[in-house]
Structure 1
Amino acid sequence: MSEHALTIQQALTAAQALGLPRLDAQVLLLHALGREPHDRAWLLAHSDDVLPPAVQAVWHTFVQRRLGTEPVAYITGHKEFFGLRLHVDARVLDPRADTETLVEWALSCLADTPAPSVVDLGTGSGAIALALKHTRPDAQLSAVDASADAVAVAQANAQRLGLAMTFHHGSWLAPFERPNANHPVLFDAIVSNPPYVASDDAHLTGLKHEPLSALASGHDGLDDIRLIVRQASQHLKPGGWLLLEHGYDQAHAVQTLLGNQGFEAVQSRPDIAGILRCSGGQWPTVK
């Protein structure tokens, strides 16, 4: 990219010529300018403004990082999810808009349940749990992650947003295991966006910035989902729901796991692209 002074339009054009998508270029330039990511109309109105040298230097660094496949959210340090502004960095996965499908489904399942108890497994940045708590302030939310770093990120997001919930460092439902199995901790809903990529998937090599432990799960990508399905059956109230995000081609396999475990009303929901992205089922009211 040119070391000469650039206008805003020239900078955006140069970034796109290097292969940066237009939206990424705009968001990163707004961040370099200290403006909000949704303020793209401001860029159009000031397209002929010349970038100050310091801003241009920062912008150049941002472009190089993005061209190196670093997610935009890691560069800007935040991401919008379900109307909430979350802090995001390399300790957690970059929340995707597709995951809002899981939040919407959970809210629908819990619509008639007063003060529902919900746990988000593998919470990462806290996106799912925080979206649920923000929309349903009466819900009792718990969030779990095996990464202490992720728990720290999620806790900080909750504090920043003023949303009260409990956090646990541990593997899936292990923090809720009790010596007395006759009185297990039970939830109205268990939700999770767990790792679901096959460990030998070629796409993993291109994801060098994200935490691998939050992505890969065995030879077929279903190891963690199998474990969650088994554990969830011991921690759901009668009529409670288990809702899982999964890969684009895993809906049938996840439905089968749920059915074999004894879940009823097993079904899948599409994401914004029409791909079956989430599957879930209801624990029987009578066994």
Structure 2
Amino acid sequence: MTKQSEIWTIGSILKWTEQYFNDKGVESSRLDAEVLLSRVLGKERIYLYVHFDQPLQQMELGRFREMIKQRVKRIPVAYILGEKEFMGMDFSVSPAVLIPRPDTEILVENVIERLKELGNVHIVDIGTGSGAIAVSILANCLNVSGVAVDISSEALAVAKSNAIRHGVDMRLEFVKSDVYDSLSAGQFDAIISNPPYIPEKDIAGLEPEVKCEPYGALAGGKDGLDFYRRLIQEGIKFLKPNGFMAFEVGIYQAEDVADIGRETGAFNHFEIIKDYGNIDRVVIMKKQE
């Protein structure tokens, strides 16, 4: 984008930015350009099409230019904007937390469906990050209280801000812990997690945007299953009888995760749920009485 006195309209700047992003290898170039410009203008994306010929002010161009610089460095749009939509709600995000993804909504929707059928219940979200899972569940289930756990103080600060933002902070406790280390046994009706599950050998091949996210929220050990072993084997004593565990899993991991649960002998019911791409994405296991 030149700094000359040329008049830039919404239409011309979008066209230029789309091409520039393409040249720099940025995927979803048009969408990213529209989302970023919408934020600069404080408008919905439809506004861009209705006002295609509207000239941009120098201050608006300056703000947009700074966003473009960040995006071509492959910084995710969510980090540039400082928020991401999840389950129809806006969540604050920062480089201290994993960016919530649509696949995780499959996990949350299935947990909500099960919890709504119960009385007052107490849950824990291990590795809460932005708090998207725990906050979404509590926002949709007034019968639920919970604990949001993370090893990162920075992540817990983001999660707490999101709990306050969505009015569930009075029902959600925040605990800094390495998985269960700081928790008391036998207190949860459900243990929920979207843990790190990418095998170490696959980390180097991730997209640059994904590599911007916290390494500890991505890497799941040699085979990607390290955290599932801890969550399941150590978690049995924290789960009440008839309680359940629900996990998001990576591609081809569902049966392996279910097998970890079967080997404990503590669970009598298993479900594997597919995502919208027909990939096994969620594993739920119910503890025996």
Q: Which residue of 1 aligns with 2:88?
A: 83
Q: How many Å separate the matches in 1 of 2:245 and 2:260?
A: 12
Establish whether residue 7 from structure 1 lines up as the match of residue 9 from structure 2: yes
Establish whether residue 169 from structure 1 lines up as the match of residue 171 from structure 2: no
Q: How many Å separate the matches in 1 of 2:115 and 2:48?
A: 42
* Post-superposition offset of 1:111: 2.6
Q: How many Å separate the matches in 1 of 2:233 and 2:275?
A: 25
Establish whether residue 233 from structure 1 lines up as the match of residue 236 from structure 2: yes
Q: Which of 23, 28, 42 is matched with 2:36 structurally?
A: 28
Q: How many Å separate the matches in 1 of 2:278 and 2:37?
A: 31
Partner SS for 1:50: coil
Q: How many Å separate the matches in 2 of 1:57 and 1:272?
A: 39
Equivalence map 1:100-179=2 (5 Å): 100-163=105-168, 164=170, 165-177=172-184
Instruction: Please tell me the residue identity of whatever aligns with 1:239.
Output: N
Q: How many Å separate the matches in 2 of 1:15 and 1:252?
A: 44
Alpha-carbon spacing, 1:226–1:63, altered in 2? closer, same or farther (3 Å)? same
Q: How many Å separate the matches in 1 of 2:180 and 2:253?
A: 22
Q: Is the 8 A contact 1:270 1:277 kept in 2?
A: yes
Q: How many Å separate the matches in 2 of 1:196 and 1:41?
A: 37
Q: How many Å separate the matches in 2 of 1:94 and 1:65?
A: 17
Partner SS for 1:220: coil
Give the TM-score normalised by the residue count of structure 2. Answer: 0.91
Q: Is the 8 A contact 2:125 2:191 kept in 1?
A: yes
Instruction: Please tell me the residue identity of whatever aligns with 2:186.
Output: V
Q: Is the 8 A contact 1:251 1:278 kept in 2?
A: yes
Q: Which residue of 2 aligns with 1:180?
A: none
Partner SS for 1:203: coil
Alpha-carbon spacing, 1:68–1:84, altered in 2? closer, same or farther (3 Å)? same
Q: Which residue of 1 aligns with 2:270?
A: 266
Instruction: Please tell me the residue identity of whatever aligns with 1:12.
Output: L
| Further displaced range: 58-67 or 230-239 | 58-67
Establish whether residue 64 from structure 1 lines up as the match of residue 66 from structure 2: no
Give the TM-score normalised by the residue count of structure 1. Answer: 0.92
Q: Is the 8 A contact 1:5 1:53 kept in 2?
A: no
* Post-superposition offset of 1:128: 0.3
* Post-superposition offset of 1:34: 2.6
* Post-superposition offset of 1:77: 0.8
Instruction: Please tell me the residue identity of whatever aligns with 1:9.
Output: G
Q: How many Å separate the matches in 1 of 2:207 and 2:78?
A: 19
Q: How many Å separate the matches in 2 of 1:260 and 1:200?
A: 26
| Further displaced range: 272-281 or 142-151 | 272-281
Partner SS for 1:213: helix
Q: Is the 8 A contact 2:116 2:143 kept in 1?
A: no
Q: Is the 8 A contact 1:196 1:216 kept in 2?
A: yes
* Post-superposition offset of 1:40: 1.3
Q: Is the 8 A contact 1:258 1:280 kept in 2?
A: no
Instruction: Please tell me the residue identity of whatever aligns with 2:282.
Output: C
* Post-superposition offset of 1:188: 1.1
Q: How many Å separate the matches in 2 of 1:153 and 1:13?
A: 35
Unaligned runs of 5+ in 1: 178-183
Q: Which residue of 2 aligns with 1:244?
A: 247
Q: Which residue of 2 aligns with 1:199?
A: 200
Task: Report how many residues are paired.
Answer: 276
